[in-house]
Structure 1
């Protein structure tokens, strides 16, 4: 007897694109292109499309010239072309308002569906089709898995995105991300004074510890952006970046150090054109066990989760590390 073909339903493949609004596009371009070494694939109409040297797709970063430093969109690639339509159907059935974005709405990308995450109100865009252009000849690498030669501080790819929302909505948003988009909780912490509320949760759809993190905003506001992390090859690259950035007019955030959560080395800096927080990230462990049970961090070990070694993150009242950027609404 022939069994019907199993269909797992629509799935997220990875965190693919972030669109950062910047009041000073040229300064942001200098930061990402000249310092971090990302390739500008295309620049048109006040937007620049960039990628790391190991990203074969059209872009992972969009820099948009605008008056306010707002994050315009968080893009996630799905596993199959039909998954865009299937997710759209599921969102509609849940009563979630969506926008259908035609192919070409974003340079190099196919059709997408845009919506606000229930609870957190972050503008997500789900897409599948994206161009894979060759770099111009002067930038090409002899290694076929590299889209271009390594330059600057050597950003390889977008690694993960960190979001924040209000304490009253974080549980709802985190639960929705797991139930409706298929993210798996890998590590988490609860607010010590309110143990029923998540302080932060690290979620992934890949073997990484997190492709996406969501936590409580110090200002108790939804739709907040904490940072986007870009992957570099090794710990030495983090130290090189820290050394070089000290000589430049760039807001130095925190690090270099190593997180206990995820076990990767970090350096937090700020894009001088927009002020958005950027993490340079290297190392970390991977999860292959299908029966992985989420790890909870509690006091007093929680401080080691934030910083295993290096600069202790300033998370006290009014701490610099708690600052965030706003996100756009359903219509950017």
Structure 2
């Protein structure tokens, strides 16, 4: 007997923020940061590629570290809701005339077949997949809680939380609209540029009850295909404060924080992986959205600084400012990475 829900086909959907493949010039330094300090489990090593997961992630990995000449993001990956959704999305991309690449199963260890493409407008390399192995951790590392893949270690990052990416003011409207219309992301909070009121400054979007699984932001330098940060989730505000103490003692490079965002209402701390200089946000708290009729909240320019920092280190939001750090300012993100190519990561 079929379930009632099986009689209806909602079409392909994104389930969650899945994995990120970060290029690093120094794999061992990056492992010191993500594995030894943040507490991720190194599930597998394949030559110059390391696969890691957080202690509450059952899947094979959420982070791939690839030792290479450039500190670039090789891929942002999202898991879809059903096995057939990979092919259905591929068909839709082809219908729109978007070039795609099939990434065979096993190209990224533990992961099934994926479809790879560059986001129209922003040119970020996205991959969509469904199948992911769920290996047990080594017995000595295994948690007695079956919902945890391993024991809590280090700073105790629980899971990958979200991606924050940048594109140019001239392309952000196209890219932000496309990820909503085609991939099904819902706009939760947003702002427009003060001097271009028809242009998105920043948009926080999600496919889950989180305020954002993906943020898309206007890059002041006019660049596309930029990363601002990848965020990993901690359980409590106090965990972020403890992490700040530990990371300062280890001389890990700081950006801004700890503080609390008004947008999303989570505690933040921006830091940098010493192996690659990729920016990482340590993130805890935030509110959840369950209303099916949620209306996106618009932040006006005069209130936007409180959106960036409700309390904690103030984030300078003045146009063109190059103060202590502009890492948290949605309109002033510093360009970080060259343009990616449509080639398979891994």
TM-score, structure 1 as length reference: 0.97
Distance 1:53 1:187 in 2: 30
Root mean square deviation of aligned Cα: 1.4
Is residue 17–residue 213 contact of structure 2 (8 Å, CA) maintained in 1? yes
2:336 counterpart of 1:325: yes
Q: Partner of 2:81 in structure 1? A: 79
Distance 2:275 2:194 in 1: 36
Bigger mean CA deviation after superposition, 306-315 or 182-191: 306-315
Q: Partner of 2:171 in structure 1? A: 169
Query: Secondary structure of the residue that 1:87 maps to in structure 2?
Result: helix
Is residue 16–residue 77 contact of structure 1 (8 Å, CA) maintained in 2? yes
Is residue 38–residue 155 contact of structure 2 (8 Å, CA) maintained in 1? yes
State the Cα deviation string for residues 186-208 of structure 1 (Å, max 9, x = none).
Answer: 00000011111000000000000
Is residue 14–residue 80 contact of structure 2 (8 Å, CA) maintained in 1? yes
Is residue 223–residue 335 contact of structure 2 (8 Å, CA) maintained in 1? no
Is residue 267–residue 281 contact of structure 1 (8 Å, CA) maintained in 2? yes
Query: Secondary structure of the residue that 2:258 maps to in structure 1?
Result: strand
Distance 1:202 1:115 in 2: 21
Q: Partner of 1:248 in structure 2? A: 250
Distance 1:6 1:47 in 2: 41
State the Cα deviation string for residues 139-172 of structure 1 (Å, max 9, x = none).
Answer: 1001110000000000000000000000000000
Q: Partner of 1:234 in structure 2? A: 236
Matches within 5 A, 1:167-316: 167-316=169-318
Q: Partner of 1:67 in structure 2? A: 69
Gaps in structure 2 of 5+ consecutive residues: 328-332
Distance 1:309 1:34 in 2: 30
Matches within 5 A, 1:79-118: 79-118=81-120
Q: Partner of 1:133 in structure 2? A: 135
Query: Cα distance, 1:301 vs. partner?
Result: 1.2
Query: Secondary structure of the residue that 1:96 maps to in structure 2?
Result: coil
Query: Secondary structure of the residue that 1:237 maps to in structure 2?
Result: helix
Q: Partner of 1:120 in structure 2? A: 122
Distance 2:35 2:275 in 1: 12
Is residue 122–residue 329 contact of structure 1 (8 Å, CA) maintained in 2? no
Query: Cα distance, 1:329 vs. partner?
Result: 1.7
Query: Cα distance, 1:315 vs. partner?
Result: 4.3
State the Cα deviation string for residues 199-231 of structure 1 (Å, max 9, x = none).
Answer: 000000000000000010121100000000000
Distance 2:281 2:85 in 1: 30
Distance 1:215 1:158 in 2: 20
Distance 2:29 2:61 in 1: 19
Is residue 71–residue 325 contact of structure 1 (8 Å, CA) maintained in 2? no
Bigger mean CA deviation after superposition, 308-317 or 90-99: 308-317
Is residue 305–residue 317 contact of structure 2 (8 Å, CA) maintained in 1? no
> Taking structure 1 as reference, are residues 325 and 79 closer, same or farther at Cα in structure 2, changes over 3 Å only?
same
Query: Cα distance, 1:306 vs. partner?
Result: 0.2
Distance 2:12 2:302 in 1: 40
Query: Cα distance, 1:5 vs. partner?
Result: 2.2
Bigger mean CA deviation after superposition, 165-174 or 294-303: 294-303
Query: Cα distance, 1:249 vs. partner?
Result: 2.1
Query: Cα distance, 1:299 vs. partner?
Result: 2.4
Distance 2:208 2:51 in 1: 24
Distance 2:169 2:153 in 1: 41
